[in-house]
Structure 1
Amino acid sequence: MKKSFHIIGLGRVGQTFATVIPQSGRWRLACAVSRSGGGVREDHAVCPIVPRIGLLPRADAVLVCTPDNAIEEAAAELARLPWLSAQTLVVHFSGAKTIGALNAVVKCGATIGSLHPVFAFADVAQSVRLLRGNLCALEADGAAAMAVLRDLADAAGLRAFEIPSAQKARYHAALSAASNFSVTLAAFAQDLLRPLNLPEPLARDLVCNLLRQSVDNLSRLPPVQALTGPVVRGDDSTVAAHLAALSGDERQLYRMFALSTLALAAPRLGAEAQEALRSVLAGGGPL
C-alpha cells in the first residue's frame, strides 16, 4: 500500500517534489496547501488543493516547502491537527534552519526531519527533469524518522547523506560560499574585462568557460591540486603586472583573492616564492 504525503507551499520546490516523489510508485500525493490558490503544474501532478493547513486529512508525512521564515508558523498550525502521531513525519526543506524549527509538532507526538536538496530550483519543469541523482542533506530526530526521510529522498531519486543539527549553519555557509561567491567572483572577472570593450556575450564566455574547467578539475582533484595560474606557479612578476593594470578598488579585491589563493597554494610553493608573492601583494597598499 502506498504511503501518503501532503505538501505545504506550492512554490518551485513544492511543485517539484509534488511531482517527482509520486513517480516512484511508493508514495501518493494526498493534498497540497496553497493560500494563493495556485496548484501543481497540470502536466506533472494533480492533487486536491486546500487554502489552510487545518483542512488537511490524515497522512503519513507532511512536507513543509514554505520559505524559511514561515516554517515555524506552519509547524504551529500543524500542531493543532488532531491526527498527528508518532507515525507522522513532518519535514522541512531549509538548508539553514535545523529541525528545531518544527518543535511545535513534537509536542503532539509527531516525528520531525529536514531534507535539503543541494539543487538550484530555477524552473519547475527543468527541476523535475534534472533533480534525480543530486545530493541532499538529511537531519532527523531519531532512527524511525530518518528511515522515512531516506525513503522520501530515495523516492525523489536523490543521493542522501546525514548531517548533525549542530553543524547545520556551517553546512549551509559552505554551500552558500560555493554557489554565491563563485557568481560574485565571475562578476568581478567580467568587470575587469569591461575596458576592453568586448561584446558582453564574449566576456561572459571567457569567464564561464574557465570557471567550468576549474569546476571540472575540482570534481577530480583536491583544491590544492586543481589550482592553476600565476600564484601557484610563483610568477610574482605576472601578479605585479596584474596589480599595475587595475584601479584602486579592483586592486584591493584582487589582492584579497590572491592572498587567499597564496595560502591555498603554499604546499606547492617554496618559501622564497611565497615571500616574493607576499611582497608584491603588500606593495599595492595597506593590507
Structure 2
Amino acid sequence: MAPLLNLVGAGHVGRTLGRLFAAHGAFTVQDVLTRSPDSALDAIAFIGAGDACGGIEGMRPAQVWMLAVGDDAIGPACAALAASRPLAGSVVFHCSGAKASGELAAARAAGAFVASVHPVRSFADPQAVADAFAGTWCGVEGDPEALAVLEPVFAAIGAQLVRIDPAAKTVYHAAAVFASNYLVTVLDAALRAYAAAGVPASVARELARPLATEALANVFRIGPEAALSGPVARGDFATVARQQEAVTRWDADTGSLYEALVAPTADLARRKREV
C-alpha cells in the first residue's frame, strides 16, 4: 500500500497534486482539511479519494503531510499540526515558491522531516494542470530523509526535479516574477508606447508580437547574450538618451522603468561582447 498522505489545504494546488498522487498510486490520500466542509467535499470529489475533516485534531495519523495553504498560513498551520499530535518520523512538506522548508520548524522540532516542493507553473485551472502535469519542473529542498520520500513520488507523477538552495528561496521565487509577471509589465509599457504614437491597440499587439516572441525564442535557443539586439547592444547611447527623454516626457513612470533597464541591459551587452 502506498504511504498515507493527509492534505491540509486543498485549493487549486492541493487538489491538483492530490488527484495526481491518487491517480498514480503514489500516495494513498487519506484525510483532507480545507476552510469549510463544502470545499473539502468538493476537493475530495476532484481528487477522487480521501475523507473530509472538520479540524486538524480530527485528522488520522499519516506518514506524509502536505500543507497546501497560503504562504502566510504555512507557519501557523504547521504549529497547529505539531501541537495536535506526535510527528516523529513523518514527512511534512509545503508547496510554496516563496518560503523555504525552515517555515516548518515546528514540525521539525516535533521530530518530523521537512521539505518544500514548488511546482513551477500556474494552477489557475486544476483540471488542465492535472491533465498536462508531465514535464513540470519542481524546485525542491529540505531534509534528506524527506526528499528521499518525496522525490520518487513527484517523479512518478511526471515532475522534473531540481534542488535549490533554501537560503536563496526568495531569490528563486523572484526569478519566476521576472520571467512572468515583470515580462508582462514591460510588454504593457511597449503597448502603451505604441498607443501614445497613435497606433490602435489591436495593431499595437501585432507590432509587438513578433518582436516579443522572437526575442523569447532566441533567449531559450541561443541564450540572452546572443539574443540581445537594439541600441544598447550596438552601443548607441545617444539614441538611448533621446528615447529615455521622450518616454519620460510622455509618462514619467514609464520613463523611470526605461531608465532602470538601461544599466542591466548595458551589462548584458558587455557580456555579449565577451562571449
Does TM-score exceed 0.5, indicating one fold?
yes
Matches within 5 A, 1:14-25: 14-25=14-25
2: CA distance, partners of 1:197 / 1:49: 57
Displacement of 1:176 in angstroms is 2.2
How far off is 1:124 after superposition?
A: 1.3
- 8 Å Cα contact 2:15/2:46 also seen in 1: no
Question: Aligned residues: percent identity?
Answer: 32
* Structure 1: segments with no counterpart, 5+ residues: 271-287
Aligned positions of 1:138-287 closer than 5 A: 138-141=140-143, 143-236=144-237, 238-239=239-240, 242-243=243-244, 245-248=246-249, 249=252, 250-268=254-272
Shift in Å, 1:170: 2.2
**Structure 1 pair 265–126 and aligned structure 2 pair: CA distance change class (3 A):** same
Structure 1 residue 258 displacement after superposition: 2.7
Contact 1:193–1:203 under 8 Å retained in 2: yes
Distance in 1 between residues matched to 2:106 and 2:210, nearest whole Å: 48
Q: Distance in 1 between matches of 2:30 and 2:44?
A: 15
- Shift in Å, 1:147: 0.6
Residue 136 of structure 1, aligned match among 135, 138, 142 = 138
Q: 1:68 aligns with which of 71, 81, 84?
A: 71
Tell me how far 1:78 sits from its aligned partner: 1.0
Cα distance in 2, alignment partners of residues 244 and 94 from structure 1: 41
TM-score under structure 2 normalisation?
A: 0.87
1:96 & 1:268 partners in 2: Cα distance? Answer: 31
Could you tell me how far 1:90 is from its partner in structure 2? 0.4
Partner of residue 91 from structure 1, selected from 82, 93, 102: 93
Give me the whole-angstrom Cα distance separating, in 2, the residues matched to 1:69 and 1:63: 15
Q: CA deviation at 1:123?
A: 1.7
SS in 2 for 1:122: coil
Provide the C-alpha distance between the structure 2 equivalents of 1:58 and 1:236, rounded to a whole number of angstroms. 65
Structure 2 CA distance for aligned equivalents of residues 204 and 258 of structure 1:
23
Contact 1:35–1:52 at 8 Å: present in 2 too?
A: no
Q: 1:102 aligns with which of 88, 95, 104?
A: 104
CA distance in 2, matches of 1:51, 1:176: 35
TM superposition shift of 1:267? 3.9
CA deviation after TM superposition for structure 1 residue 188, in Å: 1.1
The Cα offsets for residues 20-73 of structure 1, whole Å up to 9 and x where unpaired, read as: 122222322112101223022735534211121111112121110000110111
The aligned amino acid for 2:73 is A
SS in 1 for 2:118: strand
> 2:77 & 2:247 partners in 1: Cα distance?
51
Provide the rounded CA distance (Å) in 1 between the counterparts of 2:51 and 2:234. Answer: 61
Distance in 2 of aligned mates of 1:158 and 1:236: 45
**Aligned-partner residue type, residue 72 of structure 2:** N
Give the paired residue count.
Answer: 268
Within 2, Cα distance between the matches of 1:190 and 1:216?
20
Between structures 1 and 2, the one with greater helix share: 2
1:13 maps to 2:16: no
Query: 1:84 Cα deviation (Å)?
Result: 2.2
- 8 Å contact kept, 1:20–1:155: no
Give the letter aligned to residue 47 of structure 1: G
1:45 paired with 2:22, answer no
- CA deviations 1:211-243 (Å, max 9, x no partner) are 232222121222111212232133456545534
Would you say the 8 A contact 1:138–1:149 is kept in 2?
no
AA aligned to 1:258 is V
Letter in 2 for 1:32: V
